[in-house]
Chain A
Amino acid sequence: EVQLVESGGGLVQPGGSLRLSCAASGFAFSSYWMDWVRQAPGKGLEWVAHIKEDGSDKYYVDSVKGRFTVSRDNAKNSLYLQLNNLKVEDTAVYYCARDPNWGAGPWGQGILVTVSS
């Protein structure tokens, strides 16, 4: 079964840090660009980060540049998102997803990150 499972969310104070993880299974993880997408409570979807198959290219939405870092470990079939200097507006459910451009791929169940004092 093709699956993505996120972990690592939680409550953090403004200025704090978190590391999200996504475990992939059921497909050739190392052959796909991978992504993080977020959804603030009651809001729409925002594509946050995009990483190439071998990790050599990375893209970020402007609102997180310099604060978030996407990475991957193909040996462990895992995707990561390091969130630093968190702001209240980063509060959202974060989804791990496979690059959509080459076919409909799996999405994770999502993990909630709450930034609040």
Chain B
Amino acid sequence: DIVLTQSPLSLPVTLGQPASISCRSSQGLVNRDGYTYLHWFQQRPGQSPRHLIYRVSNRASGVPDRFSGSGSGTDFTLKISRVEAEDVGVYYCMHGTQWPFTFGPGTRVDIK
């Protein structure tokens, strides 16, 4: 199974400051079809997960442009350019390249 690791696991951030979360995969995530199925999810307290970024860098509809995803191969990054109060929650990377799909352990973002 592909294992995803995230760092940091806890990220206190000052409002208006940037934040960055790293996701590393135990093997490359490029599928045979050429696509890289690495996604990012946000889970606010008490809510269902929300799909923020799909296939590395594509923002979902309605996601603010302060969120961006990048990376390739085994190293990926989610960046928030200026953290707002509504960004508090846990962020998960997830791969859909082969079964079983797996999630990273999650990074908890809160406000300093």
Chain A 79-101 interface 0/1 with B at a Cβ cutoff of 8 Å (1 = within): 00000000000000001010111
B89 within 8 A of A: no
A104 and B60 contacting across the interface, CB-CB below 8 Å = yes
Given contacts A104-B52, A107-B49, A108-B48, contact A59 B99 (CB under 8 A): yes
A72 within 8 A of B: no
Q: How large is the interface on A (under 10, 10 to 19, 20 to 34, 35 or more residues)?
A: 20 to 34
B37 and A44 contacting across the interface, CB-CB below 8 Å = no
Where the two chains meet, the residues of B that have a C-beta atom closer than 8 Å to any C-beta of A are: 35, 37, 39, 41, 43, 48-55, 58, 60-61, 63, 92, 94, 96, 99-106
Known: A44-B106, A50-B99. 18 other contacts (CB 8 A): A45-B49, A45-B94, A46-B103, A47-B94, A47-B102, A61-B100, A62-B100, A97-B49, A100-B94, A101-B35, A101-B37, A101-B54, A104-B51, A104-B53, A104-B60, A104-B61, A104-B63, A107-B51
